[in-house]
Amino acid sequence: MSAFVTLNNVSKTFDVSAPWLNRVIERKPPSYLQAVSDVSFDIRKGETLALVGESGCGKSTVARLIVGLYQPTKGMITVDGKDMRLVDQTGESSQALRRKVQMIFQDPYASLNPRWRVSDIVAEPIRTHKLLTDNAAIDKRVAELLGYVKLTAKDGEKFPHQFSGGQRQRISIARALASNPEFLICDEPTSALDVSVQAQVLNLMKDLQREMGLTYLFISHNLQVVHHISDRVGVMYLGRIVEIGDKKQVFGDPQHPYTRMLLDAIPDLKMTGKARTPVAGEVPNPLNPPTGCAFNPRCPKKFGPCDKDRPQLIAFKDREVACHAAV
């Protein structure tokens, strides 16, 4: 099956320099933050790719690059064969591309306008993209969308603060579905929810994917959630993909030391007695990353080349791994 979403050597650099006058007085050079570096992956139609990693590894930046909130410094992003740089242009083709890609944000309350009724929030994409113009037809479509996420048409008369966290996230999903998208970017959509509510939202998303043929990019640091919802998993560290492959392969036989350390951090509820290595050390300062492999200061398998040469993502055991030890 051909790829629906493709990232090809995508990088994003932010200028985090102090104001010009301060730099002149203090004689400091400009500072640049490499948030994402040479990220490449494909997402096939109808599948879920999950990106995992510690906070600050670049997961959310990748999401914002794909949806068009940021423009890549280098590389190309295509959705359904079309360059996402077109979203900056006006015209029918740009609007069609925007409709195909929607995003569900981490905090459902912050992403919903507290002064709008739920019916207006869900109807906004319909009116913006002019999918329907008749008010009665819009109201009918809003009621249908609320029904998809197990809410009622009467809930549309309420304001976001009148709902629980899980219900607000359902409203966010309904709004994302309003433009008839084909690809949803889910940026930690369950991290602010209770465990029981997380399961409800995740099961809802899986049901919607089956019914509508949706494609997901799911971003999370919770590996148990990722195991539940994903088909393939990409592990990120300091702006780079270090391992990517089928969920069963990555969870069952991790090849990168960082992936192993993340999996060892999951509580061993079955008490298997298997030796576990906790995640040691801190993520390096991204403004001053280590030479060679970025993971080498924390890696238990560090050896000669790790300090000097940055490993490239290569095919290894039916997945891709960026590690000198995986050869």
Q: What are phi and psi of 216, to 5 degrees?
A: -120, 140
Tens-place pLDDT, residues 259-297? 988 888 776 656 566 666 666 677 888 888 888 999 988
Tens-place pLDDT, residues 180-202? 999 999 988 887 777 778 888 88
- Domains of the chain, earliest start first: 3-230 (3.40.50.300)
What average pLDDT score do residues 144-153 get? 91
d(CA 65, CA 172): 20
pLDDT for 81: 85
pLDDT for 5: 92
Can you list the pairs that 289-293 forms with residues at least 24 positions away whose Cβ atoms lie under 8 Å? 289/34, 289/238, 293/322, 293/323, 293/324
Q: Which amino acid is at 51?
A: L
Residues 216, 177: contact at Cβ < 8 Å? no
pLDDT for 150: 87
d(CA 54, CA 188): 12
pLDDT tops 80 at residue 34: yes
Mean pLDDT computed over every residue of the chain: 87
**Apex CA 34: angle with CA 28 and CA 37, to 5°?**
155
What average pLDDT score do residues 212-222 get? 91
Instruction: Name the DSSP class of 51.
Output: E
Q: Which amino acid is at 87?
A: V
Is the Cα torsion angle 149, 152, 155, 156 positive or negative in sign?
positive
**Apex CA 216: angle with CA 268 and CA 173, to 5°?**
95
pLDDT tier at 99 (50, 70, 90 boundaries)? confident
What average pLDDT score do residues 232-242 get? 94
Which residue in this structure is represented by tokens 């040479």?
38
Tens-place pLDDT, residues 164-179? 888 998 999 999 999 9
End-to-end Cα spacing for the chain: 28
Structure-model confidence comparison of residues 162 and 106, the more confident one: 162
pLDDT for 86: 66
What average pLDDT score do residues 120-132 get? 92
pLDDT for 96: 77
- Out of 1-5, 83-87, 215-219, 289-293, which region has the weakest mean confidence (pLDDT)? 83-87
Instruction: Tell me how long the chain is.
Output: 327
pLDDT tops 70 at residue 253: yes
pLDDT for 35: 93
pLDDT tops 80 at residue 327: no
The pTM for the full model equals 0.88
Residues 63, 103: contact at Cβ < 8 Å? yes
pLDDT for 89: 58
Structure-model confidence comparison of residues 51 and 193, the more confident one: 51
